Structures are given as C-alpha cells and as structure tokens.
Structure 1
Amino acid sequence: MGGTWERLIRVAKKALVSVLSGNAVTDEVLSTVFAEVESLLNGRPLAYMGSDVSNPSPLTPFYLLTGRSSVYVPSDILCTEQCTWTKHWQHAQVIVERFWRRWQRELLPTLQRRTKWMMESPNLKVDDVVVIVAPNSPKGQWPLSRIVDVFKGKDGRVRVVNVKTTTGTYKRPITRLTVLESVEKPP
C-alpha cells in the first residue's frame, strides 16, 4: 500500500545524495535546500479537482495540508543584491536546481504509463487532464493541460495529441505526457 510513497522517498533521497555529495555546505545552506526541496516535492500534482476540465486545478500534498495548491515562491524574487547572505543563498539555489533536474529525470518516468507489449493500456482521450513532461521546465512548475484532439497511428493507438495550455495549443507525443486522475467521480 505504501509502495508509492516509498518510491518517491527513494527517488528524492537518491537525488539529494547525488547533488549534495562532494559539496561542503553550511547548516544554513542545508536548511534552505531542505526547505526548498520540501516545497518542490509537496507541490507536485497528484490529481486534478473540479468538474470543469477546461480549467483544472491540481490537487497537491500542500493542498491536502494547507488548503492551498502550493506555497512555492519563485527564487528570483526572494533575494536582492543588498542581501548579506547572497552567496549562501546562491549556493543553495544551485543545489536545489540540480536536485530539481535530477529528481525530474528520475521521477517522471515512474509516473508515465508503461506496460509490456502484451498488455493493452487505455488510449488517451479528449478532455483528459495531463502534465506535460518537459525536461527544461522551470523549477517547481508542473504544466497542466487538457487534451483537445487525438491522432491515432496505423495500429489504432493514440500516438500524438493536441493539448491546450494557458499559453496556447500544442501537438505533443503521448510519451511526453502523464495523465492525472480526477478527484471527483464522473457522473
């Protein structure tokens, strides 16, 4: 039952060990890194809420704890040039950025549906809410989108879809999408 949590913890620990090994960090930097990593981990979408699929709102661990989707604050507004602790803060930001890239690289493949060729998995369909898996996405951002059109291959399986995001409509292969389940039961 707790396999999902254990897998997430293992991936997070592995990413943290990888980015912290060989780095001499102060207690303040380590504390900052842990706080930001906590924010990144708890800000990931688990499912989407609401019956309006045109504007899905993500259900995150932060939402379950606080009633808000996220408390993540973009790092570019936290510090100005007058900060006396700028170097420590910048060091923490470098470590957190490396953690984000590593964690994303290791976690996202576990979220995508991958079944053996013998097992049939359901096709994506119009109005499914998905997270776009983008290796260059900004730290802490999980771009949600809604499928507006599907394109099938010669075998009848959906291979490519059009997704609608807040910035437009894009064509994406299904290998770059992770489906989110709805919190609400369908009518």
Structure 2
Amino acid sequence: MLLQELWLRKLDWDELLPMQLQTSWEAFKATLLQLPKVKVTRFVHTDPQVPIEIHGFADASMRAYGAGIYVRTQTAEGVKSAKHLFLRTVGHDLLTAEELGTLLASVEAVLNSRPIGALSSDPSDGEALTPGHLLIGGPLVAPPPSALPDQISPTCLRLWRSVSSLRHRFWQRWSREYVSSLQTRQKWSKEVHNVDVGALVVVGEDNLPPQQWRIGRVVEVHVGADGKVRVADVKTADGVYRRAIHRLALLPMLS
C-alpha cells in the first residue's frame, strides 16, 4: 500500500516523504520487529512418486498489491476422485453462477483442510499438517456467518440451504474416501505393522461437519487373540475415543 501511494503521488527517489506517509512507514517498520518470530517450514517430505507443483500469483486492488507462492502436491487419482464426486454431488441440479462459485470455493476449502502428515512426534502435539498450512500458515477454519440467511431474505435462505446441502454431501463422500485412501491396503498374506502408542491418526467419522477432522494420538492399544492390534484408544481435542483399527488411518511423519 505504501509503494502504491508513492507511485500515485509520483514521488522521486530522493524526495522527502510527506508526514502522513512517513508515519505509516514508521508504524510498518515497527511491526517488522516481530519478523524473527515467524517460522516457515523450508522442506516438506513427500512421496517421490507424487508430482510437485510450485504455484505463484500476484494481483492488485485499489488499495494494495499482493503476491503469493505455494507448493501443491496432488495425485492424479485424488484429482479424478474429487472431480467425479463433485459431478455426482451436483447431479442434474441447475446452479446459478453465484451458487456454483460458492460451492466450488467450499469444495476447495474442504480439499485444502485434509490432514496429510504429522508435524512432530511429540505425543502432546495433536495437530496435523494440511495444505492450508502451506497456503495461509495454519489450518483452514470456516468462519461463522455475520448474519443468518433468514435474517436477510427468504430467497437467500433457500439458496443457502441448497448450496449447504450440496457442500455437505460432497464432504461426506470425499472425506470417507480420503480416510480410506490413507489406510494401507495390503494382501492378507503380507504382514502389516501394528499401530503404536503415540501415533497420530485420523478417526473415520460419518457425522462430522465439513472441514472438521477428528485427529488424535493413540494412547492405548488392545490386542486380539492373534497378537494383532484390533482396537485403540485415541486422545483427541474433545476426549478419548475407542475405535476399531479399521476406523483409524495412520498419518505419516513428515521430515
């Protein structure tokens, strides 16, 4: 914004700043003292078979310039799955441009909220890395609406219910498939490693709202007669849950 203001005023390099701009610059410079506290992960380990894309963009408005760059990783199967589920969710519904744009933004938020790995091996750390961390520095959280749709107009309420229903249907289908994809499927003739205490897992649930993943650490395991873990107790942010092993998806440790 300061650079844009300088350009609009056509100030030369050696000209003194007006008092208003000088005050704004001093205030901005003071915030830079917090910069050493900002930590950005410089390397995220990914599967070598998964393609990595670097995306950059820049834009301007009447008040500011903006630019960003981020890393995108996505398997072809994941893209096809999301597109297929999106088309199945919409079906034969006729959407306006505004409804379609809102639904696509909601689907994008759902995809970018998915957990992809553990940030640390600390048993007390229950946070998982998501694409949202690479985009905005933290998990994507759906903000509460400033006003309820029925407080605006009946038409707005009808459109909101329609888009919310489509969003919820997509979330239910895609989150179920994603948790299933995290679970390693192997032939029964091949031994699979047991789940260890302290592992970060995603708990497969069918009744969670969009963008809400039940993530926690395994605090206790229960072994069956064959010596394999069949049930585990998982500590999450809202309590300890006991779930069968087939309802849990282990998150890899990112180096």
How does the TM-score come out when normalised to structure 2? 0.67
> Partner of 1:154 in structure 2?
225
1:65 aligns with 2:135: yes
The SS at the match of 1:181 is: coil
Unaligned runs of 5+ residues in structure 2 are 1-48, 52-73
CA-atom RMSD in angstroms: 1.7
Give distance in 2, aligned partners of 1:174 and 1:120: 15
Instruction: Detail structure 1 runs of 4+ shifted over 6 Å in the superposition.
Output: none
Report if the CA contact (8 A) 1:43-1:72 is conserved. Answer: no
Considering Cα pairs closer than 8 Å and 6+ residues apart, tell me whether 1 or 2 has the greater RCO: 1
The structure 1 residue matched to 2:241, chosen from 154, 170, 173, is: 170
> Partner of 2:106 in structure 1?
36
Identity %: 36
After superposing the two structures, state which structure 1 stretch, 96-105 or 123-132, moved more: 96-105
Report if the CA contact (8 A) 2:168-2:209 is conserved. Answer: no
Post-superposition offset of 1:129: 0.7
> Partner of 2:119 in structure 1?
49
Post-superposition offset of 1:182: 2.1
> Partner of 2:16 in structure 1?
none
Post-superposition offset of 1:159: 0.7
> Partner of 2:50 in structure 1?
2
Higher Cα radius of gyration:
2
1:96-175 equivalence runs, <5 A: 96-175=167-246
Give the letter aligned to residue 23 of structure 1.
D
Give distance in 2, aligned partners of 1:128 and 1:108: 16
| Post-superposition CA distance 1:72-107 (Å, at most 9, x none) | 335xx3541222433222211111011111212333
Post-superposition offset of 1:108: 2.4
The structure 2 residue matched to 1:19, chosen from 89, 93, 97, is: 89
Post-superposition offset of 1:140: 1.1
Report if the CA contact (8 A) 1:152-1:160 is conserved. Answer: yes
> Partner of 2:160 in structure 1?
89
Give distance in 1, aligned partners of 2:189 and 2:121: 34
How does the TM-score come out when normalised to structure 1? 0.89
Give distance in 2, aligned partners of 1:160 and 1:72: 32
Give the letter aligned to residue 217 of structure 2.
R
Give distance in 1, aligned partners of 2:199 and 2:146: 36
| Post-superposition CA distance 1:150-176 (Å, at most 9, x none) | 111111111111111122222111100
Give distance in 1, aligned partners of 2:161 and 2:125: 35
Unaligned runs of 5+ residues in structure 1 are none
